[in-house]
Structure 1
Amino acid sequence: MAEATIFDKIINKEIPADIIYEDEHTLAFRDINPQAPFHVLVIPKTPIATINDVDETNAHLIGQLYVVAAKLAKEHGFAEDGYRVVMNCNEHGGQTVFHVHLHVLAGLEMGWPPFTNKKKELL
């Protein structure tokens, strides 16, 4: 069995988090290093390490993350103005906790492209 991640510990209430939503399958909490005025992580309670591990048996959980993201955006007043959702995969994709999670960012106008480092030299 894989080693427990920080998200597993949050799900099990072994460590504190600023939880703003919870249901049978998902948990949402404020990011400890926010990149926007509203920055929440939405996670499935069932551990899935990366997007590469999503399959027919657990794909419904990923859809549920988006349902929760939309619900939170509406409840917190960001649905109409807009918000960004991001899911990173593996090291080069920026994933640091290997338990899939959806970042929900809002509260400011966001530009495109989203990355700032190595932008021009890689294009």
Structure 2
Amino acid sequence: MAGEPQSDCLFCKIVAREVPATIVRETETTLAFRDINPQAPTHVLVIPKVHYPDAASLAAAEPGITADVLHEAGEVAADDKVDGSGYRVVFNTGSGAGQTVWHAHAHVLGGRGLEWPPG
């Protein structure tokens, strides 16, 4: 069921502390941790603690938690001191966009030039 932890979800296991991660921030509704394959000097994932497969389903069901994820993305950028130079917040939705973990998550990327368009 949407919103409930999924036993086969890597990010749900990180929230439950069953899988280790380098956690940098935590709130009642979100968890932020360093990406294990960073694409920039700052590459942190901000996830909702509730399980939804992608950003669109999270936003439709839990707009307040979606706002929490975006707020925490800004806090991560400030903590890593990339808020002044610029950073990117990316939600990949669907395998064609590069989503590989089916738990909504935002990538916070910064600390180097980020050209547009990406990819």
Return the TM-score normalized by structure 2: 0.90
Percent identity for Structure 1 against Structure 2: 43
Name the counterpart of 1:67: 71
Determine whether 1:53 maps to 2:57: yes
Q: Which runs of 5+ in 1 are unaligned?
A: 116-123
Aligned twin of 2:111: 107
**Counterpart in the other structure of 2:85:** 81
Secondary structure of residue in 2 paired with 1:20 = strand
Deviation at 1:24, TM superposition (A): 0.5
Residues 28-71 of structure 1: CA deviation (Å, up to 9, x unaligned): 00000100011000000011111342355411111111100111
Alignment partner, residue 18 of structure 1: 22
Unpaired runs of 5+ residues, structure 2, are none
Compare 47-56 and 106-115 and name the one that shifted more: 47-56
Q: Aligned pairs, how many?
A: 115
User: Which residue of structure 2 lines up, in the alignment, with residue 39 of structure 1?
Assistant: 43
Tell me, yes or no, if structure 1 residue 92 matches structure 2 residue 96.
Answer: yes
Higher Cα radius of gyration: 1
CA distance in 1, matches of 2:17, 2:117: 36
RMSD across aligned C-alpha pairs, in angstroms?
1.4
